[in-house]
Amino acid sequence: MQLHNCSATWRETVSVHEVFRGQTVWQGKVEVFDLTGHPKANRAYGWSHPEGEDNKGERFVAVLEIPPVVSPETAVRASIVSDSKK
């Protein structure tokens, strides 16, 4: 992870399905990485999803495992909350 000046090793892919009030708000695969050399996080989560006009673009998301983020599911939730505040 060049952005955070540390190294990352892929660990696994996890399927995440987030539902809010009975509706799917996000569904996809989250890549889990173990980090070496980061001062605050031992793990990071990453995924991409369609975005933009007619969903023709692609957005890449990376979230560090720093509480309250402790799993792929909480990483997705944190990203959703962050996006809703923009």
Nearest-angstrom CA–CA distance, 71 and 15: 12
Q: By C-alpha distance, which of 31, 32, 30, 43 is closest to 4?
A: 43
Nearest-angstrom CA–CA distance, 79 and 10: 20
Quickly tell me which residue has 């997705």 as its tokens: 76
Name, of 17-21, 49-53, 71-75, 82-86, the range with top average pLDDT.
71-75
Nearest-angstrom CA–CA distance, 76 and 86: 16
Structure tokens at 67: 């509480």
Q: What is the pLDDT of residues 14-26, one digit of tens each?
A: 999 999 899 999 9
Q: What is the pLDDT of residues 62-73, one digit of tens each?
A: 999 999 999 999
Task: For the full predicted model, state whether its pTM sits above 0.75.
Answer: yes
Beta carbons within 8 Å of 2's beta carbon, 6+ residues apart: none
